[in-house]
């Protein structure tokens, strides 16, 4: 169980490991390109070598890439859908070239579509991403469930893992998104019950990574609002329960809280781990 955070690539992707260690990261996450889309810096062999050298220099065990926010595999707009497939594919290529362990993505919103139809569409669009083999594994991130967002329930995640068995796909769970979607994490009993349910519906073999965030939003309120560890509605007792849950100890946790206190969030989680 290692802790890290999302860090900036301003001035060059190769600078990310130094920024990560400065706030106490043991692992970290980046965007490999502007999060709202746009032109991406070319991944050269020289850039990848510099990044790998800095990973060793700053003792970062591994890192992950988050796709842009504009992904929507459930869109009925052919341009949006096509761009979403292209961006995920490109980030898998970029992540593979850089040596990232995982690339994670949100799925988008079904808007007016029937949920079953939308899930089928997302599955077929996912398959179009995999025109070749990638070194980096693609993770579906659970969403907070606002509107008709796809992927906000364990049943949704199980649908995708079941229908994408022949593809290199795993799951990333976000504590704030889970809590907002109605999965309680506020104490030991709630954590056990939630992950009993996850194990039964999805299965731990698909789980690869966590995003670790407290929530400004109350339980089941279906909005995505991150808060610093212990300052939100999940609370410090909940994060102690997460760290103590033996089934979660093989996984790494990436914080996506505001940078004003993210170093303190990491420090809190390391202290909990030692208890």
Burial of 205 (0-12, 13-18, 19+ CB in 10 A): exposed
Domains located in the chain, CATH noted? 3-274 (3.20.20.150)
Q: pLDDT (tens digit, 9 = 90+) per residue, 221-236?
A: 999 999 999 999 999 9
Q: What is the largest CA-CA distance in the chain?
A: 52
Distance (Å, rounded) from C-alpha 235 to C-alpha 249? 19
Tell me the C-alpha to C-alpha distance, in Å, between residue 237 and each of 16, 187, 220, 251: 31, 6, 18, 19
Helix (H, G, I), strand (E, B) or coil at 191: helix
Beta-carbon count within 10 A of 184 CB? 16
Q: pLDDT (tens digit, 9 = 90+) per residue, 191-221?
A: 999 999 999 999 999 999 999 999 999 999 9
Going by C-alpha positions, the residue among 149, 167, 171 that lies closest to residue 158 is 171
Sign of the Cα pseudo-torsion (223, 7, 228, 240, in order): positive
Can you give the pLDDT at residue 44?
96
pTM for this one? 0.95
Beta-carbon count within 10 A of 118 CB? 23
Mean per-residue pLDDT pooled into runs of 10, the chain (275 residues): 97 96 98 84 96 98 95 93 95 97 94 86 94 93 86 95 94 97 98 98 98 96 94 98 97 96 98 94
């Amino acid at each position: 169980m290692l802790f890290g955070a999302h860090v900036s690539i301003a001035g060059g992707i190769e600078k990310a490991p130094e920024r990560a260690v400065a706030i106490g990261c043991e692992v970290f996450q980046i965007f490999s390109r502007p999060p709202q889309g746009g032109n991406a810096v070319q991944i050269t062999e020289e850039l990848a070598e510099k990044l790998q050298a800095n990973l060793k220099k700053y003792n970062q065990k591994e890192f992950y890439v988050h796709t842009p926010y504009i992904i929507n595999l459930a869109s009925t707009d052919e341009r949006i859908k096509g761009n979403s497939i292209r961006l995920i594919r490109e980030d898998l290529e970029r992540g593979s070239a850089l040596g990232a362990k995982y690339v994670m993505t949100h799925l988008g919103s079904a808007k007016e579509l029937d949920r079953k139809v939308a899930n089928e569409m997302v599955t077929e669009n996912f398959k179009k991403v995999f025109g070749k083999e990638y070194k980096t594994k693609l993770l579906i991130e659970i969403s907070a469930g606002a509107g008709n967002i796809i992927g906000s329930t364990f049943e949704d995640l199980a649908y995708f893992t079941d229908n994408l068995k022949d593809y290199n796909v795993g799951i990333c769970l976000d504590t704030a998104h889970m809590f907002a979607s109605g999965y309680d994490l506020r104490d030991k009993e709630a954590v056990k019950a939630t992950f009993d349910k996850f194990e039964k519906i999805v299965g731990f073999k698909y789980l690869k990574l966590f995003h670790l965030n407290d929530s400004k939003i109350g339980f089941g309120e279906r909005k995505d609002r991150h808060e610093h560890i212990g300052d939100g509605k999940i609370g410090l007792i909940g994060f102690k329960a997460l760290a103590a849950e033996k089934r979660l100890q093989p996984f790494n946790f990436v914080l996506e809280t505001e940078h004003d206190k993210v170093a303190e969030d990491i420090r809190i989680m390391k202290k909990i781990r030692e208890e």
